[in-house]
Amino acid sequence: MSLTIAALPVSGALPLADWGLIRAHGAEARSFLHGQLTQDTNSLQPGTARLAGYCTAKGRLLATFVIWAEGDDAVLLACSADVLPAVLKRLRMFVLRAKCKLDDVSAEPAWAPVRGLVGAAAGTGLPWSVSASNGGTCVMLPQALAGGQPVARALQFGGEAPAAPALDAEVWQGLEAASGVPRIVAATVEQFVPQMVNLELVGGVNFQKGCYPGQEIVARSQYRGTLKRRGVLVQGPVPMTPGQEVLHSADPGQPAGMVALAGVLPGLGAVALVELKLSALEGGSLHLGSAEGPLLTPTALPYVIPADAA
């Protein structure tokens, strides 16, 4: 994979084969999901999306979703395509007598294909706003930080492709990592408690809602003691892949962290959102794959990790 992409396009779009979509519908769809996810689904408002996590009973993330409402009795849940079948099967197991039906609508014409939009192609809406766009549905995502500059991003479900240059998939992935908004993929299933990848810092955990699988552990991680692991953005000289281990020079015998998302940013090269022991930032050096592996350098996220949470 080349790391010599010259410049970030002002505007760009690309199809995203690695995203899928679940539709939950029925009179109790919202209340069912409210009891399963880290997010409040009962109060979803029209035109607004939210981030949510789906955890095991031990608080480990099985998936992350971008969710939004379709009328009063349906919720859309966008997630990584490679985790969708297992997550859909698991959610269906817990529906029981609830009036809620869950379907994979990834290939339905109303929602397919999924596209990633960047820069001017993404528009100027507020993060997590939902609107009609090019005959489909557009969900604005939080901006990424590329070379110190904010870059707009959006997901478009269905409709026509916008009149915009083709965007390199590696750049989209780099912007996703640089946004600091985690997305669980097959290689990272059950690897992270939400706070380990900053899910609550980007609005993906509601601590006022009722119970859901893993809620006690997620709450305990938040309120008892100091959080020892966080999501950190790093740069490196070689491409990185979700699931790769990161080692620290002072403790080469065990991993200090794991790559959650990775891609390329023009002018910066390879970047990754890495779940990392915060103590590994206090000295020494970080390396990919082994203690002798490529050197990784921490760089800025678009948001600040609170000092009392670090």
**Mean pLDDT over each residue of the chain, to the nearest integer:** 94
Residue 309 has pLDDT above 60, yes or no: no
Interval 120-124 mean pLDDT: 94
Interval 68-92 mean pLDDT: 97
C-alpha–C-alpha distance, residues 113 and 157, integer Å: 6
Q: Which pLDDT score is estimated for 307? A: 74
Q: What is the pTM of this model?
A: 0.95
Interval 198-222 mean pLDDT: 94
Residue 206 has pLDDT above 70, yes or no: yes
Q: Which pLDDT score is estimated for 308? A: 55
Q: How many residues does the chain have?
A: 310
pLDDT band at 7 (very low <50, low <70, confident <90, very high): low
Interval 214-238 mean pLDDT: 91
Neighbour-count burial of 259, counting CB atoms closer than 10 A to its CB (0-12 exposed, 13-18 middle, 19+ buried): buried
Structural tokens at position 38: 């880290």
C-alpha–C-alpha distance, residues 6 and 268, integer Å: 10
Q: Which pLDDT score is estimated for 159? A: 97
Average the pLDDT over each of 114-118, 231-235, 250-254 and give the range with the smallest value.
250-254
pLDDT band at 208 (very low <50, low <70, confident <90, very high): very high
pLDDT band at 108 (very low <50, low <70, confident <90, very high): very high
Q: Which pLDDT score is estimated for 5? A: 41
Q: Which pLDDT score is estimated for 267? A: 80
Residue 136 has pLDDT above 70, yes or no: yes
Interval 232-261 mean pLDDT: 97
Output the DSSP codes for 218-268: HHHHHHSS---EEEEEEEESS---TT-EEEETTBTTS-SEEEEEEEEETTT
pLDDT in tens, 53-74: 999 999 999 999 999 999 989 9
Helix (H) or strand (E) holding 13: strand 11-15
Residue 17's CB is within 10 A of a number of other CB atoms, namely 11
Interval 247-273 mean pLDDT: 94
Neighbour-count burial of 96, counting CB atoms closer than 10 A to its CB (0-12 exposed, 13-18 middle, 19+ buried): exposed
Interval 116-141 mean pLDDT: 96
Q: Which pLDDT score is estimated for 149? A: 86
Rg value, the chain, Cα:
19
